[in-house]
Amino acid sequence: MRRPQASKSTRFFGSTVSVLALGTVLAGCAAPGEVSVPAESAQQATTLERIDFNPDVPLGRDLAIINKDRSLRLGATSDEALSVFPAPARSYPFSTLPAQFGKGFKATGWDSDLRSFGCILYGEGSDRDVVVLAMETQDSVSEDDVASAIALYKKQYGEPQLNLPGKDVQYMIWERPERRLMLNVSTNSKGSRALTVAVGVPQVMGELGITQDQARTDWASAKETLSGKPAG
C-alpha cells in the first residue's frame, strides 16, 4: 500500500531516529509489532534555520556514500545527487522536509519497493542549494550484501570511529571534520534485513538522531528487543 508523498518523505528521513524503525519505514505499511517514527514527533519542537557548511574540504578528509563505481559527496547539487542515485522505474518522488528543518533547507528523493534514496539540501546565503545530507536504504539485503558494503567503506575510509557489531543490528560511524558517515544494518520482526548508509554535516545528522551516543542507545535497545532480554 503506497503512501502520499509527504508521508513517504517524513517516514524516510524519520527512519534514522531509531534503529528499531529502520528496515520497516520504507515499506508501504508496517507489519504488526514494527515501529514507525514520524519525524515530526521524533525531535523537540525546534527548527534548524542555519548551519555553517563548507563544501570545499580536502578529499582526504571527505566522506561519501557510494553507488557502484560512483560517489556522492556533500556540496553536490540535487541534479548531481540524482545522477549518482537515479530513480528506478516505478519509483515515487518525495520532496517534503522533516519538520525540524527551516526554510533554508529543501529535500528531494525517491522511494521504490526495495530501495530508497533521499537528500537534504541547504542554500541559505548561497546562490545554489547543495547536499548537506544524503541517505540510501536497501531492503531485503543478504548477509553477503552487508559484508560487501562494509568491506567497501572500510577500504575507502579505514576503520570506523564507532563500531557496534551484531547479526541483527549493527552500527558503524566514521567521523571527519564537518563530515559524518553512518552504516546501519537492522532486521525487522519478519527477519528481513535492511542496509542504510548516510553521509551528512554533523549538525544536520544530529537533527535526525544520527550521532554516536544515539547509535549506542538505539543499538542496545534493539538488541534487547530482538533478544527479549536486556543487552549487556
The amino acid at residue 130 is V
What pTM does this model have?
Answer: 0.81
Contacts of 176 (CB under 8 A, 6+ apart): 57, 61, 62, 63
Q: Are 116 and 94 in contact (CB under 8 A)?
A: no
What's residue 232's pLDDT?
52
What's residue 225's pLDDT?
77
The amino acid at residue 223 is K
Helices and strands of the chain, counted as H and E runs: 6, 10
Q: What is the spatial order of strands in the sheet that 92-94 belongs to?
A: 92-94, 105-111, 115-122, 130-138, 193-200, 179-187, 169-176, 162-164
3-state helix, strand, coil in the chain (%, to 5): 30, 30, 45
What's residue 13's pLDDT?
64
What's residue 42's pLDDT?
41
The amino acid at residue 70 is R
What's residue 30's pLDDT?
33
In the chain, where are the structural domains located?
5-227
The amino acid at residue 138 is Q
Taking only the tens of pLDDT, the chain with its 232 residues reads 333 333 455 456 655 444 333 333 323 333 333 333 333 334 445 689 889 887 776 656 689 999 999 999 999 999 999 999 999 999 999 998 888 999 899 999 999 989 999 999 998 656 689 999 999 999 999 999 999 999 999 999 999 999 999 888 899 999 998 899 999 998 887 888 999 999 999 999 999 999 999 999 989 888 787 776 555 5
